[in-house]
Amino acid sequence: MNDSNPKVVVLGSRKGRFRADNPGEKELILNAHEAWAYAFGCDYINIFSAKAQDLDKYDLAIFNSEYKDPKYLFKLLDLITKRGRDTKAAVLIEGLAGFYIKPQFIIRELFDSADLVININRHTTSFLQQ
- Averaged over successive runs of 10 residues, the pLDDT of the chain (130 residues) comes to 80 85 66 79 92 95 82 94 96 72 79 90 67
How large a percentage of the chain has pLDDT more than 90? Answer: 38
Instruction: Give the span between the Cα atoms of 2 and 57, in whole angstroms.
Output: 11
Directed axis angle between helix 70-82 and helix 105-113, to 10°?
30
Phi, psi of 3 (to 5 degrees): -65, -30
Domain range for 67 is 8-129
CATH number at residue 42: 3.40.50
Instruction: Please name the amino acid found at residue 65.
Output: S
pTM for the whole structure: 0.84
Instruction: Give the span between the Cα atoms of 48 and 71, in whole angstroms.
Output: 9
* Domains held by the chain: number: 1
Please check whether residue 53 lies inside any domain of the structure.
Answer: yes
Please check whether residue 45 lies inside any domain of the structure.
Answer: yes
Please check whether residue 122 lies inside any domain of the structure.
Answer: yes
Contact between 13 and 47 under an 8 Å Cβ cutoff? The reply is yes
Please check whether residue 101 lies inside any domain of the structure.
Answer: yes
pLDDT in tens, 19-28: 877 766 666 6
Please check whether residue 1 lies inside any domain of the structure.
Answer: no
